[in-house]
Amino acid sequence: MKQLLLIFFFFLSLSVFAEDGSRLWLRYEPKDTADFLIYSKKETATYSIAQFEIKQYWKGKPVELKRMNAKIQGAPYQKEAFNIISNEKTIKIIASTDIGLLYGVYHLLRLQETGQVADNLNIAEIPAYNIRILNHWDNIDGTIERGYAGSSLWNWDDLPEKLSPRYTEYARANASIGINGTVLNNVNANPKFLSDEYLKKAAVLANVFRPYGIKVYLSVNFSSPVILGGLPTADPLDEDVCRWWKEKVKEIYMRIPDFGGFLVKANSEGLPGPQDFGRTHADGANMLAEALQPYGGMVMWRAFVYNPSSPDRAKQAYEEFRPLDGKFLPNVIVQVKNGPIDFQPREPFNPLFGAMQKTPLLLEFQITQEYLGADKQLAFLAPLYKECLDADTYAHGAGSTVAHCVKGIAGVANTGNNANWTGHILAQANWYAFGRLAWKPDLTSEQIADEWLKMTFSTDTAFVNPVKSILLESREAVVDYMMPLGLAHLFAWEHHYGPDPGLNIPGARPDWMPSYYHRADSIGLGFDRTTTGSNTVSQYFPPLDSIYNHIETCPEDLLLWFHHVRWDYRMKNGQTLWENLCQHYQRGVEATYRFQTVWENTQPYIDPERWEAVRQKLKIQTHDAIVWRDTCLHYFQTFSKQSVIP
């Protein structure tokens, strides 16, 4: 009963918010004569939340929430699915579970806020994936690796005694877009997160999130049995190690009965893992999976691995994991980044998608903009997500898209304790887009942008249409002024924000230097990954291997990813590579000026606080785009020996 009262008072407080962006896309206004819910002991917390949302914010005909075992889109009793059906008098939201009803309520409110409520609704929704999860790279000290919106949401020092209202706000926002899991801590995991002290804290967060259908997961350090348990080894085939993990898992489930499982980064970037003991990734993952299996938990084992000895970093994940296909236990899912390197502004899809046909894969996107301008740049990422999801792997012939090759989607979160959650107010759209596409990957970028703008700012088409246009152009603009035509990793040392294509630190790893990726010389530019180069093209199914292998058929937006191209090579528009490179950089800069102009004209339609905050960010973006253009072109000019074309 205490938890239900907390939920009640949380909702009661929602009407007292400044225009600081904190309400995200959940800016519902209460009805003039709100019906306040009297909670019943017979109802679950989830059902009570669903009722309260409808009673407070729905302004149409009466709504009935109905639990029943209904077939939805041919899937019997899918626990998160729902129907919305209306007639002249009522609207029914039908689901077999309370969380399905809650998702249905948020969908109906979305229709209301975006002006899409019809007289006769007949909607059937079932999520495409059962796993729709955020990865938080949050640390015990409150910092966030690759976080650009302040400190961690989790006030570890206050937990478990003191709960921030932001925890409920966070859970509500996630539930409204269908996200059903959260990994609380950084993949570069501190073993202390598995201590009794921190499991108590995680359990309290799990209690807050549970009514919103969100499971808690933890990232774990593979050496935890040594660091926490005092064992002499973390060898996954050692009996004492296996026993330690089984006891630790039992302890976790005593505190968090619906605990989701572990996320593991192992033998990557210096972190420990099974290869330290001559074992495979499958050996390590399966040891953890055996411990979790009795409780229904799973292991998400990341495939992000690389070392400086590989002739091409882009090949390594495939080379290590493809031979292990079919060797993982059923409750292991291999988590694969969307591209083969590391969340670059544009990459081809990772060739592991489609290649591991006996192993479930979890697609990992980055929502936080580590390589896309942090919190300073407008980069609406739905087009990037769609580019990957819709890419055809040809694993089973034409139509074998990445979306069809994966069993779930994970996103590296962009949230922090800033009032507006994401640093840049327009970056909230990327959190929203991730959730919507994880639920329904066939949505278009246009649909998602339209929904988010109408829910977050205004339904006035004089605002929505022009701002939607800059959202949809923004990611391509960033690619143009940072790394066009398939270039990658031209960033300055460590911070992954500004450009330094000529960076050269004596003794540093080659694959941490931009020259490793751009290969600029007096002849041309780009990394030769053809059959006469590193042969990365061979990791793709036909006909993609041949398409990428030949310069005449390789898509030009990936040209320098797969080919070392002569400066005077004539591209499809008849101009040389150098001329095209100059034009892309200039086009990216010009786009940022256009973004400023469009936003300046939106002032009459939204509040002054958010308008000014975005305006200032767009000014920074133009400044930074000019720095990118000038730095990169002047550097590459030293090799091309040609004039920079304005």
What are the structure tokens assigned to 269, written together?
Answer: 């970037």
When computed from its CA atoms, the radius of gyration of the chain, rounded to whole angstroms, is 25
Question: Rounded to whole angstroms, what are the CA distances from 334 to 132, 193, 302?
Answer: 14, 22, 6
The catalytically annotated residue of 312, 347, 370, 387 is: 370
Whether residue 342 lies in the annotated active site? yes
278 torsion bin: left (phi>0), alpha (psi -120 to 50), beta (else): left
Q: Could you give the CA distance from residue 138 to residue 187 in angstroms, rounded to a whole number?
A: 9
Establish whether the linkage from the previous residue to 543 is cis, with ω within 30° of 0: yes
Would you call 605 helix, strand, or coil by DSSP?
helix
How would you label 254-279 residue by residue, b for 16+ Cβ within 10 Å and e otherwise? Answer: eebeebbbbbbbbbbeebbbbbbbeb
- 15 CB burial (10 A radius; 0-12, 13-18, 19+): exposed
DSSP per-residue codes, 428-452: HHHHHHHHHHHH-TT--HHHHHHHH
Q: Please tell me the number of Cα atoms within 13 Å of 570 on its side-chain side.
A: 2
Token pair belonging to 494: 């460590």
Question: What does each C-alpha distance from 276 to 202, 273, 638 come to in angstroms?
Answer: 29, 6, 44
Respond yes or no: is residue 141 known to be catalytic: no
Identified catalytic residue from 64, 247, 269, 521: 269
Query: 542, exposed or middle or buried, with CB in 10 Å at 0-12, 13-18, 19+?
Result: exposed
One-letter amino acid identity for 49? I
Which residues fall within 8 angstroms of residue 627, CB to CB, at 6 or more apart?
A: 498, 499
Interatomic CA distance for residues 66 and 86, integer angstroms: 13
Identify the three-state secondary structure at position 502.
coil
Q: What's the residue count for the chain?
A: 646
Give how far Cα 448 sits from Cα of 22, 39, 426, 444, Å. 20, 35, 13, 6
Cα dihedral 416, 419, 421, 425, rounded to 10, equals -140
Bond from prior residue into 160 cis (ω within 30 degrees of 0): yes
Active site residue 161: no
Q: Which of 342, 390, 446, 609 is catalytic?
A: 342
Please check whether residue 470 is in contact with residue 598, taking contact to mean a CB–CB distance below 8 angstroms.
yes
- Indicate which residues carry an active-site annotation: 269, 342, 370
